[in-house]
Each structure stands twice: as C-alpha cells, then as structure tokens.
C-alpha cells in the first residue's frame, strides 16, 4: 500500500435499519486521501458525506467495507483510540471548561504531563490567535471565536487527520470567508490532513486540493477543483458545481445538433445518440443578430461586475449568459440577439 | 425638577403597596419560627406547654442529661445517636436516590419527545398518593409474611424470613422510595438540557467512558444533582411518617424524637430546642453544600 495515503476507504457502505425500513446512507464508496491533503467531501444534505466522515471518526461503524488509517485497519477501532479529531458543526465545546481547558482536554485524556499540556495549549491558541481568551468560558465568546476554539481543541492533540463537519455553516458570510483562508493557512502550517465536509460548492472550490462530489450515498467524482469544474463527470456534478446551462442534442456526423436546429462543433466522446451539453454561463457570449444562434432576452440581472442574461432560444429552451458589465452595452428585456457558445462539455444523456 | 420627588413617592407607594404581603410573610413565615425559638428558652409546664419563665434547660437537655438521684450531668447519648442516625440515613437516602435517579432521568431524557411526558407522569404518580398509604404499601412488601419474604422462601433462597421491617434498612427503603421523584425530576431537567454531542466530542478527544461521565456529564448536570440532593436530603432529615411506620418505636429519627417531646414526653422547651437545632443543621448543610460545589467548579 502507498505510504502516502492517510485515509483509505474500501467499498464502505452504511445501511441504517433492517428489512423493508432499511435506508442506505452510504453505497459502496472507495476513496484514498493523501497525507497532507485538503480534501473536501461536497454534496447536498443527505448525500452521505457526513456519514462517511463519521465512519472515519469512528462514531459510526460501516456495515460493509473497511477503512484504513496510514495502513492500519481502523474500521472497528473506537473513536478514542483513533489519532483522528473532529471539528463539530455545532462546535460541541465543553461549557464548564475554559478555553484553555477545552483545548487541553484531548492531551489531558491522552495522559500528557501538565506542563506539556500547558505548553501545547499556548502554542495552539497562538496558532488560532486566541491567546488572550484562554481563561474565558465558551459562552463568553462570539461564534467565530468559538469556531477557533473548536479548531484549536481538535488540533491540539496533533491528529493524523482532522475532520471538519460543515464547521463554517453557522458563520455569516464575511466571517466565513475569513475562516476559509484561516483554515487553509492552518492546514499548510500544520501539514495535517484535513477532510472537510460542506454543501457549499464555492467553499469547496476555493479551499480544497481535491474534492469528492457525493450524491445519494455515492461518490460521483473525485478531482481537483479545476478538473471538477471544467470537466464534470455527469449532469449532477455539472449542475451542483457552479452554474450550468444544459441543452439537449443529438450527435450527427461528429457534430451535435441542438433543439433549434443549429449545429455545434464540439469535442465528442460518443459517436451517436442523444447527449446533454453542459455550458457554463461565462462561455455564452451575446453577439449581434445573425452572427450566432438566435435568442431573445427574457431577463437581466445586474450583479455588479457581471450581468446575467436569461435568453430564450427558438425551441423554447433557456440559457443563461454571464457577461462583464462594463465591456458590453446593456441589453434590454425583449431584445432580439444571437449567442455564441465557447467551451462545451458533452455528457451522456 | 419634580422628578426626584416623584421617584421617592413612587418608592414609598411601592412599600405601602407591598405591606400586606410583608405582614403576611412576617406572620406566616417568621412568626411560627419565632414562637418555636421563644418556647425553647422557657421553662417546661407541669404537664405540657411552657411557663413564661426564661430558662436554658431546653437547650441544655439537647446535649446533656441529669441523673434523677444525684443530679450528676452526663452526655445524652440517646439524643446524639438519634441525630447521628438521622444524618446517616438522610445521606444514605440521598446517595441511593442519586444512583437510582440518574439512570432513570437519563432513560427518560433519551426517549422520543412524544413519550417523555408519559414516563414523567409515571414518576409523579406516587406524588398524588397519600404518603401514609405508600408507606404501608412498602410495609406490605418487606414484612416477614410480605411479598418479598414469601417470594424468597418459595424460591428456596432462604428458609427463614429476613427481618427487614423495623430496622434502619426498612426506613432507608421507605425514604428512598418516597423521595426518588424529588431526585429524578431535577436530574431529568438537567439531563434534558445536556448536549449529547459533547459525549461524542469527549469520545473523539480520547476520553474513556468513565472519563466522559466524570469530566463531561457530571460537571455539566451538577446543578441538577445539587437541586435533587437538597430536595431529598432536607425532608429526609425531618422525616416523620416513614421512620414511624417502618422503623417502629425504637428506630427514631429527629422528627419522631421532636414529636415525642410535644406528646408523651411533655417537654415543649426541649422539643422546640431540637426543632431549632434541626433547622440550623439544614441551613449549615445548605451553606456547606453550595460552598463545596462552587469550589469544585473552579477546580474544573
């Protein structure tokens, strides 16, 4: 086995209940996460990402398959015997302990001598910039500060893998952006493998080294943010990551004919049959009538830097174009224009 | 300019308006206590009641007794042993109700929300039943020909009935049964507020089950433990019916001993002095308890 693998999940499945009432939370997931990697499990709620995380933490035991941590089988190891720590969505800070006692809890339970605990706590609190709050109680801190305490508490025992269960979901947008770069910095500084669970695709794209997209208990695609965005494996991934237009088409003569009768020259993996074209809004440009596919503007949304135009094609399908606001003349609703389509992903229908 | 005087008159009005409540409080709460305290420093009447003469005899007799013939003074061992038994049995009752009450409260708090009301109702049913009837029911269970002994003898585990009734054990069983709801309810309230994610957090941070109990669960539900302990310990200390019915005439607790002074003993000053002592013991234990628990808090 590759010694650079931190977590290796093989055919992990989790089924709740038995018989007719059985619910499959996790299908048959296989995944290798490299040491020192910032790995994100991304998917809508109920997709099994948290279940997978809880299996790695040890709070759930998979009903099938195995999980290895640095080569050791930990499938049935209890959480308190795994060198893995979790940052909980609700933080789960101990309300009766001070910030320093919270952060030192894991080390104390590991039986580290008191002076070593004190030193580690001071070091980790400095890392998350909370030195002056050491003697406060969690309920005296703001949400963002509590978040940092939860992080510090999970980092203090220096786990091999840090698990983060949607830790930023309770923060407001500004704080969330701040914590995103903070997390990235902490991960680089400590070199610890981070496994991050989120349903926020933007968060996943900005922070991760690699992303695993999940849906309905299955892992659909694993790749770098760039790969996932530019080369989605299927319609679900394309739709979930960023905004995407879908146009149905048929393959004929190595080209794709869409509903309007227009023919697009795109790179094809298949030679015949029905396909779905995934087109990012920024790949759609608006051109004068006659120089592209005929379209009519049905809606405009000014977004600051960009303007989003919703356009209706002749066959009734809609397509969204994202255009830089300052470089184009504003189009109005009802304007007859034409569109030109740049890069297109062809997906099997 | 008129604001200060307006405020003052509002304050005076406030006092005037609360006068009825204050009078009632003084008469109803402090009045009887003052009467008890006053009786304790008077001379005992010929048959009962008190003579309105100042005397320290009542307080003296709490701890000491005089020989009938030569008037030599010695420690009243009987009184002390009754006090000691009361404290001992009350502490034991508190411990028993805690060890039975915590799992019970935990069980209820972890049921689905829809069935919790049902379980709480079951816990409170004994409250709606007369104490005397409940105590006699316990008697029916533990007496020599009772349910427990009959069952044990039928099953061949014992050949002779075990004498439980009229022992300290009987009193303990009775008090634990009677006061259990008073422990369960505050514990339930505390466990219900407990965030079960904290157990996962502790488990994740290398704590064993025992450490999670000691370092996470118990410190957080401590207010419930303190409330339950006070609610059980104080009435246990002054219990009257339970030791009277289940303990028989010999295994008295302070409550019975005080009643004796106002009844057969015909020594009201001693009874009043004993009552005051009981009140002081309760107050002191309350203060000690809160001090100890708040100091624990700082230790973490």
Asked if residue B236 lies in contact with residue B89, where contact means CB atoms within 8 angstroms, the answer is: yes
Closest residue in B to A85 (Cα) is: B204
Residue A66's DSSP bridge partners are: A10
Judge whether residue B7 has pLDDT over 60: no
Asked if residue B212 lies in contact with residue B226, where contact means CB atoms within 8 angstroms, the answer is: no
The reported pLDDT for the residue numbered B299 is 44
* Interface contact A137, partner B, CB < 8 A: no
The reported pLDDT for the residue numbered B207 is 96
What is the ipTM, given to two decimal places? Answer: 0.83
Nearest CB to B204; choose among A57, A94, A96: A57
pLDDT tier, B201 (very low <50, low <70, confident <90, very high otherwise): very high
Average pLDDT score over residue span B251-277 = 91
pLDDT tier, B187 (very low <50, low <70, confident <90, very high otherwise): very high
Average pLDDT score over residue span B269-276 = 94
Dihedral sign from CA coordinates of A24, B200, A149, A124: negative
Average pLDDT score over residue span A79-89 = 95
The reported pLDDT for the residue numbered B12 is 76
The reported pLDDT for the residue numbered B2 is 46
Judge whether residue B41 has pLDDT over 80: yes
Q: Tell me which range, A152-166, A226-240, B17-31, is most confidently predicted by mean pLDDT.
A: A152-166
Judge whether residue A28 has pLDDT over 70: yes
Q: Which residues in chain A are classed under CATH 3.40.50.300?
A: 5-237
Query: Considering only CA atoms, which of A101, A100, A106, A180 is closest in space to residue A144?
Result: A180
pLDDT in tens, A111-126: 999 999 999 999 999 9
* Interface contact B202, partner A, CB < 8 A: yes
pLDDT in tens, A329-345: 678 888 888 898 888 88
**CA A38/CA A213 separation, integer angstroms:** 14
Nearest CB to A109; choose among B195, B205, B222: B205
**CA A238/CA A247 separation, integer angstroms:** 12
pLDDT in tens, B214-254: 999 999 999 999 999 999 999 999 999 999 999 987 788 99
Give the minimum alpha-carbon distance from B76 to chain A in angstroms, rounded to a whole number: 47
The reported pLDDT for the residue numbered A217 is 92
* Interface contact A101, partner B, CB < 8 A: yes
The reported pLDDT for the residue numbered A271 is 66
* Interface contact B220, partner A, CB < 8 A: yes
**CA B283/CA B274 separation, integer angstroms:** 14
Whether B146 is in a domain gets the answer yes
Judge whether residue B296 has pLDDT over 70: no
CATH topology of domain A244-348: OB fold (Dihydrolipoamide Acetyltransferase, E2P) (2.40.50)
Does an H or E element contain B75, and which? strand B73-75
- Helix H, strand E, coil C: the string for chain A is CCCCEEEEEEEEEEEECCHHHCEEEEEEEEEEEECCCEEEEECCCCCCHHHHHHHHHCCCCCCEEEEEECCEECCCCCHHHCCEEEECCCCCCCCCCCHHHHHHHHHHHCCCCHHHHHHHHHHHHHHCCCHHHCCCCHHHCCHHHHHHHHHHHHHCCCCCEEEEECCCCCCCHHHHHHHHHHHHHHHHHHCCEEEEEECCHHHHHHHCCEEEEEECCEEEEEECHHHHHHCCCCHHHHHHCCCCEEEEEEEECCEEEECCCCEECCCCCCCCEEEEEEECHHHEEEECCCCCEEEEEEEEEECCCEEEEEEEECCCCEEEEEEEHHHCCCCCCCCEEEEEECCCEEEEC
pLDDT tier, B1 (very low <50, low <70, confident <90, very high otherwise): very low
| Residues 6 or more apart in contact with residue B22 via CB below 8 angstroms | none
Closest residue in A to B206 (Cα) is: A80
Give the minimum alpha-carbon distance from B211 to chain A in angstroms, rounded to a whole number: 8
Task: Choose between A3 and B19: higher pLDDT.
Answer: B19
Judge whether residue A1 has pLDDT over 60: no
Contact A57 B300 (CB under 8 A): no
Asked if residue A167 lies in contact with residue A152, where contact means CB atoms within 8 angstroms, the answer is: no
CATH topology of domain A5-237: Rossmann fold (3.40.50)
Local structure of B211: helix, strand or coil: helix
Count of domains observed in chain B: 1
Q: Residue B234's CB: how many other CB atoms inside 10 A?
A: 20
pLDDT in tens, A94-151: 999 999 999 999 999 999 999 999 999 999 999 999 999 999 999 999 999 999 999 9
Judge whether residue B298 has pLDDT over 50: no
Judge whether residue A328 has pLDDT over 60: no
Average pLDDT score over residue span A60-85 = 95
- Helix H, strand E, coil C: the string for A227-250 is HHHHCCCCHHHHHHCCCCEEEEEE
Nearest CB to A79; choose among B204, B215, B222: B204
Contact A86 B201 (CB under 8 A): yes
What percent of chain A has a predicted confidence (pLDDT) above 90? 59
pLDDT in tens, A208-241: 999 999 999 999 999 999 999 988 888 899 989 8
Contact A88 B197 (CB under 8 A): yes
CATH number of the domain at B173, please.
1.10.3720.10
Asked if residue A268 lies in contact with residue A257, where contact means CB atoms within 8 angstroms, the answer is: no
DSSP B273: H
pLDDT tier, B135 (very low <50, low <70, confident <90, very high otherwise): very high
**Rounded to whole angstroms, what are the CA distances from A50 to A46, A88, A241?**
8, 11, 19
What percent of chain A has a predicted confidence (pLDDT) above 70? 97
Which residues on A lie below 8 Å from B222 (Cβ)? 96
Which residues on A lie below 8 Å from B211 (Cβ)? 109
* Interface contact B223, partner A, CB < 8 A: no
Contact A85 B208 (CB under 8 A): no
* Interface contact B297, partner A, CB < 8 A: yes
**CA A175/CA A185 separation, integer angstroms:** 15
Cβ contacts below 8 Å, chain A against chain B, sum to 67
**CA A240/CA A246 separation, integer angstroms:** 12
Contact A59 B200 (CB under 8 A): yes
pLDDT in tens, A248-269: 888 877 788 888 888 887 777 6
On the 0-12 / 13-18 / 19+ scale of CB atoms within 10 A, A26 is buried
Contact B204 A80 (CB under 8 A): yes
Closest residue in B to A106 (Cα) is: B205
Give the minimum alpha-carbon distance from A195 to chain B in angstroms, rounded to a whole number: 15
The reported pLDDT for the residue numbered A327 is 61
* Interface contact B200, partner A, CB < 8 A: yes
Average pLDDT score over residue span B44-61 = 87
Average pLDDT score over residue span A2-19 = 89
Query: Considering only CA atoms, which of A300, A150, A79 is closest in space to residue B206?
Result: A79
Interface test with A, best of B193, B200, B205, B299 (most A CBs within 10 A): B205
Q: Give the strand pairing for A306-313 and A293-302.
A: antiparallel
The reported pLDDT for the residue numbered A335 is 85
Residue numbers of the domain that contains B261: 77-299
* Interface contact B295, partner A, CB < 8 A: no
Whether B211 is in a domain gets the answer yes
The reported pLDDT for the residue numbered A336 is 87
What percent of chain B has a predicted confidence (pLDDT) above 70? 94
Judge whether residue A274 has pLDDT over 60: yes
Give the minimum alpha-carbon distance from B190 to chain A in angstroms, rounded to a whole number: 14
Local structure of B277: helix, strand or coil: helix
Average pLDDT score over residue span A279-298 = 88
């Amino acid at each position: 086995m590759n010694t650079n693998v931190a977590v290796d999940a093989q055919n992990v499945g989790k089924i709740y209940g038995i018989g007719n009432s059985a619910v499959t939370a996790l299908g048959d997931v296989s995944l290798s996460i490299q040491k020192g990697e910032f790995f994100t499990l991304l998917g809508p709620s109920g997709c099994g990402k948290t279940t997978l995380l809880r299996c790695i933490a040890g709070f759930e035991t998979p009903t099938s398959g195995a999980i290895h941590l640095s080569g050791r089988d930990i499938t049935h190891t209890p959480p308190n015997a795994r060198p893995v720590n979790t940052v909980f969505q609700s933080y789960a800070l101990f309300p009766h302990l001070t910030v320093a006692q919270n952060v030192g809890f894991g080390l104390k339970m590991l039986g580290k001598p008191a002076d070593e605990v004190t030193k580690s706590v001071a070091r980790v609190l400095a890392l998350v910039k909370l030195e002056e709050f050491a003697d406060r109680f969690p309920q005296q801190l703001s949400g963002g500060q509590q978040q940092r305490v939860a992080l510090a508490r999970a980092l203090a025992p220096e786990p091999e893998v840090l698990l983060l269960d949607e830790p930023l979901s309770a923060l407001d947008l500004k704080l969330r952006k701040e914590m995103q770069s903070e997390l990235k910095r902490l991960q680089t500084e400590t070199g610890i493998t981070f496994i991050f669970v989120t349903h926020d695709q933007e968060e996943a794209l900005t922070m991760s080294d690699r992303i695993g997209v999940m849906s309905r208990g299955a892992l659909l695609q694993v790749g770098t943010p760039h790969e996932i965005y530019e080369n989605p494996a299927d319609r679900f991934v394309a739709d979930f990551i960023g905004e995407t237009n879908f146009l149905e088409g048929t393959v004929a003569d190595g080209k794709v004919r869409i509903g309007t009768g227009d023919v697009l020259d795109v790179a094809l993996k298949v030679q015949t049959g029905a396909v779905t074209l995934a087109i990012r809004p920024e790949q759609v440009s608006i051109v004068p009538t006659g120089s592209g596919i005929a379209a009519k503007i049905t809606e405009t949304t000014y977004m600051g830097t960009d303007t989003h135009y919703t356009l209706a094609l002749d066959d009734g399908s809609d397509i969204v174009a994202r255009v830089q606001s300052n470089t184009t003349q504003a189009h109005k609703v009802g304007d007859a224009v034409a569109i030109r389509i740049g890069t297109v992903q062809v997906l099997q229908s | 300019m008129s604001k200060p005087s307006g405020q003052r008159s509002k304050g005076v009005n406030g006092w005037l308006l609360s006068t009825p409540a204050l009078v009632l409080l003084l008469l109803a709460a402090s009045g009887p206590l003052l009467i008890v305290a006053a009786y304790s420093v008077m001379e005992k009447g010929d048959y009962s009641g008190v003579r309105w003469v100042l005397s320290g005899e009542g307080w003296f007799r709490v701890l000491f007794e005089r020989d009938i013939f030569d008037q030599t003074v010695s420690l009243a061992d009987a009184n002390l042993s009754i006090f000691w038994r009361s404290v001992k049995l009350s502490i034991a009752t508190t411990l028993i109700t805690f060890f039975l009450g915590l799992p019970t409260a935990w069980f209820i708090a972890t049921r689905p929300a829809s069935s919790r009301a049902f379980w709480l109702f079951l816990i409170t049913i004994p409250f709606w039943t007369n104490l005397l009837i409940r105590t006699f029911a316990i008697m029916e269970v533990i007496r020599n020909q009772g349910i427990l002994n009959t069952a044990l003898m039928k099953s061949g585990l014992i050949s002779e009935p075990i004498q439980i009734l009229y022992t300290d054990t009987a009193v303990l069983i009775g008090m634990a049964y009677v006061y259990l709801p008073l422990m369960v309810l505050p514990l339930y309230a505390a466990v219900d507020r407990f965030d079960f994610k904290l157990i996962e957090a502790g488990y994740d941070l290398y704590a064993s089950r025992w450490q999670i109990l000691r370092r996470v669960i118990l410190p957080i539900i401590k207010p419930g433990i303190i409330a339950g302990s006070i609610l059980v310990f104080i009435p246990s200390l002054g219990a009257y019916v339970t030791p009277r019915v289940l303990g028989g005439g010999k295994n008295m607790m302070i409550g019975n001993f005080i009643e004796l002074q106002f009844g057969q003993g015909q020594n009201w000053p001693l009874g009043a002095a004993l009552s005051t002592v009981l009140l002081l013991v309760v107050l002191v234990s309350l203060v000690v308890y809160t001090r100890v628990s708040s100091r624990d808090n700082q230790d973490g």
